[in-house]
A and B are shown apart, each in its own frame.
Chain A
Amino acid sequence: MNYFELFNLEPAFDIDTALLAERYRELQRAVHPDKFANDTEQQKLLSVQRTSQVNDGYQTLKNPLRRAEHMLSLRGIELSHETTTLKDGAFLMQQMEWREALEDIQHSQEPQDLINELYDSFGEFEASLSNKLTLLLASTDQADALLAADQIRKLKFMAKLQDELARIEDGLLD
Chain B
Amino acid sequence: MALLQIAEPGQSAAPHQHRLAVGIDLGTTNSLVATVRSGLASTLADEAGRHSLPSVVHYGKDTVQVGYEAQAKSALDPQNTIVSVKRFMGRSLADVQSGVHKLPYALHASENGLPVFSTPMGAVNPVQVSAEILKPLIARSQATLGGELQGVVITVPAYFDDAQRQGTKDAAELLGVKVLRLLNEPTAAAIAYGLDSKQEGVIAIYDLGGGTFDISVLRLNRGVFEVLATGGDSALGGDDFDHLLVSHLQQVWNISEPNNQLARQLLIEARRVKEALTDNDSIEATVVIDAKPLTTTVDKSLFNDLIGALVKKTISSCRRTLRDAGVGVDDVIETVMVGGSTRVPLVREQVEAFFKKTPLTSIDPDRVVAIGAAIQADILVGNKPESDLLLLDVIPLSLGVETMGGLVEKVVTRNTTIPVARAQEFTTFKDGQTAMAFHVVQGERELVEDCRSLARFTLHGIPAMAAGAAHIRVTFQVDADGLLSVTAMEKSTEVKTTIQVKPSFGLSDTEIATMLKDSMKHAKEDITRRMLAEQKVEAARVIESLNAALGKDGDLLDAQERKQLTDAIALLDMTAQQDDVDAIEKAIANLDEQTQDFASRRMDNSIRAALKGQSVDNI
Interface set of A (CB-CB < 8 Å, partner B): 7-8, 19, 21-23, 25-35, 37-43, 46-53, 55-56, 58-59, 166, 170, 173-174
22 residue pairs from A and B, CB less than 8 Å apart: A22-B614, A26-B614, A27-B610, A28-B390, A30-B606, A30-B609, A32-B390, A33-B419, A37-B381, A38-B381, A38-B382, A38-B545, A41-B542, A41-B592, A42-B596, A43-B603, A46-B603, A49-B419, A49-B477, A52-B419, A52-B421, A170-B320
What's the nearest-Cβ distance from chain B to residue A147, in Å?
28
Cβ–Cβ < 8 Å partners of A50 in chain B? 603, 607
In whole angstroms, what is the CA distance A22 to B200 when docked? 13
In the bound complex, CA of A95 to CA of B548 (Å): 60
- Report which B residues bind A (CB closer than 8 A): 180-181, 221-222, 224, 316, 319-320, 323, 379-382, 388, 390-392, 416-421, 477, 479-480, 541-542, 544-546, 548-549, 591-592, 595-596, 599-600, 602-603, 606-607, 609-611, 613-615, 618
Assembled-state Cα–Cα distance A8/B607 (Å): 11
| Residue from B180, B316, B595 in contact with A40 in the complex, judged by beta carbons closer than 8 Å | B595
- List B contacts of A34 (CB < 8 A): 181, 379-380, 390-391, 480
Whether A55 contacts B418 in the complex (CB less than 8 A), given A30-B609, A33-B480, A42-B592, comes out as yes
Quick one: closest A residue to B418, CB to CB? A55
Asked if A37 meets B416 with Cβ closer than 8 Å, knowing A22-B614, A48-B479, A166-B323, the reply is no
The residues of A that contact B609 with a CB separation of less than 8 Å are 30
Q: Which residues of A are found within 8 Å of B222, using beta-carbon distances?
A: 25
Question: Which of A22, A27, A33, A39 has most B Cβ within 10 Å?
Answer: A39
* List of B residues within 8 angstroms of A21 by Cβ: 221
Is B614 touching A40 in the complex (CB atoms < 8 A)? Answer: no
**In the complex, what distance in Å separates the CA atom of A46 from the CA atom of B598?**
11
Secondary structure of the A contact surface, majority rule: helix
Assembled-state Cα–Cα distance A25/B607 (Å): 11
Name the B residues within 8 Å of A40 (CB-CB). 542, 545-546, 549, 591-592, 595, 599
Minimal beta-carbon separation of A1 from chain B (angstroms): 12
Q: How far is the CA of A126 from the CA of B442 in the complex (A)?
A: 32
* CB < 8 Å neighbour of A48 from B224, B480, B602: B480
Q: Are B545 and A31 in contact (CB under 8 A)?
A: no
- The CA-CA distance from A42 to B595 in the complex, in Å, is 7
In the complex, chain A residues whose CB is within 8 Å of the CB of B596: 42
Shortest CB-to-CB span from A171 to chain B, Å, is: 10
User: Which among A8, A37, A38, A41 is the interface contact of B615 at CB below 8 angstroms?
Assistant: A8
Q: How far is the CA of A41 from the CA of B137 in the complex (A)?
A: 28
B549 touches A39 (CB 8 A): yes
B223 to chain A, nearest CB (A): 9
Instruction: Specify which chain B residues have a CB less than 8 angstroms from the CB of A38 in the assembled complex.
Output: 380-382, 541, 544-545, 548
Instruction: State the 8 A-B residue pairs at the shortest beta-carbon distance, nearest first.
Output: A30-B610, A52-B421, A30-B606, A42-B599, A37-B380, A26-B610, A55-B417, A33-B480
Q: Do residues A29 and B480 form an inter-chain contact, with CB atoms below 8 A?
A: no
Q: Which residues of B contact A26 (CB under 8 A)?
A: 610-611, 613-614
Q: Within the complex, what minimum Cβ distance (angstroms) separates B475 from chain A? A: 10
Tell whether, in the assembled complex, residue B610 and residue A52 are in contact, meaning their CB atoms are under 8 Å apart.
no
Residues of B within 8 A of A173 (CB): 316, 319
- List 20 other contacts, CB 8 Å, given A7-B611, A23-B611, A58-B417: A27-B607, A28-B392, A29-B390, A33-B419, A37-B180, A38-B380, A38-B544, A38-B545, A38-B548, A39-B549, A40-B549, A40-B591, A40-B592, A42-B596, A43-B602, A52-B419, A55-B416, A56-B420, A166-B323, A170-B320
CB nearest to B594 among chain A residues: A42
Alpha-carbon distance between A33 and B180 when the two chains are bound, in angstroms: 11
List B contacts of A37 (CB < 8 A): 180-181, 380-382
B595: chain A residues at CB < 8 Å are 40, 42-43
CB distance from A66 to the nearest CB of B (A): 12
Q: What are the residues of chain B within 8 A of A42 when measuring CB–CB?
A: 592, 595-596, 599
Contact present for A31 and B603 (CB under 8 Å): yes
- Whether the Cβ atoms of A39 and B545 lie closer than 8 Å is yes
Query: Out of B417, B603, B618, which one reaches A47, CB within 8 Å?
Result: B603
Is there an interface contact between A59 and B417, defined as CB atoms closer than 8 Å? Answer: yes
CB-CB under 8 A from A30, the residues of chain B are 606-607, 609-610
Contact A52 B603 (CB under 8 A): no
Contact of A46 (CB < 8 Å), options: B180, B390, B541, B599: B599
A8-B479 CB under 8 A given contacts A40-B542, A43-B602: no
Tell me which of A32, A38, A50, A166 has the highest count of chain B C-beta atoms within 10 A of its own C-beta.
A38
Beta-carbon nearest neighbor of A22 in chain B: B614
B606 & A31 in contact (Cβ 8 Å cutoff): yes
Complex: A21 Cα to B222 Cα, angstroms: 12
Alpha-carbon distance A25/B617, docked complex (angstroms) = 14
CA A10 to CA B66, docked complex, whole Å: 60
Given the complex, which residues of B lie within 8 Å of A23, measured CB to CB? 611, 614
**Of all chain A residues, which has the CB nearest B324?**
A166
A52: chain B residues within 8 A (beta carbon): 419-421, 477
CB-CB < 8 A to A28: which residues of B?
224, 390, 392
Of listed B419, B596, B618, residue having the most chain A CB within 10 A: B419
Chain A contacts for B548, CB-based, 8 A: 38
Interface centre among A25, A30, A42, A170 (most CB of B within 10 A): A42
State how many angstroms separate the Cβ of A38 from the closest Cβ of chain B.
Answer: 5
B416–A33 touching, CB < 8 Å: no
Cβ A31 vs Cβ B607 within 8 A: yes
- Report whether A51 and B316 are in contact in the complex, using a CB–CB cutoff of 8 Å: no
Closest to A58 in B: B417
Take A27-B610, A29-B388 as given contacts and tell me if A46 and B319 are in contact as well, using a CB distance cutoff of 8 Å.
Answer: no
In whole angstroms, how far apart are the Cα atoms of A83 and B64 in the complex? 61
Q: Which residue of A lies closest to B544 (CB)?
A: A38
- Taking a contact as CB atoms under 8 Å apart, the answer to whether B421 and A174 are in contact is no
Shortest CB distance A25–B (Å)? 5
Q: Which residues of B contact A25 (CB under 8 A)?
A: 221-222, 224, 390
Q: Which residues of B contact A19 (CB under 8 A)?
A: 618
**Would A51 and B224 be within 8 Å (CB), given that A27-B610, A33-B480, A40-B599 are in contact?**
no
Asked if residues B418 and A43 are in contact (CB atoms below 8 Å), the reply is no
Chain B min CB distance to A43 (Å): 5
Known: A39-B545, A55-B416. A46 touches B600 (CB 8 A): yes
Given contacts A26-B610, A27-B610, A39-B549, contact A174 B480 (CB under 8 A): no
Q: Is the CB of A170 within 8 A of B615?
A: no
Bound CA–CA A33/B418 (angstroms): 10
Closest to B320 in A: A170
A58 to B419, CA, bound (A): 13
Say whether, besides A28-B390, A55-B418, A8 and B614 are in contact (CB < 8 Å).
yes
Give the complex CA separation of A39 and B592 in angstroms.
11
Q: Are A29 and B610 in contact (CB under 8 A)?
A: yes
CA distance A37 to B591 in the complex (A): 18
A170, B320: Cα distance in complex, Å: 7
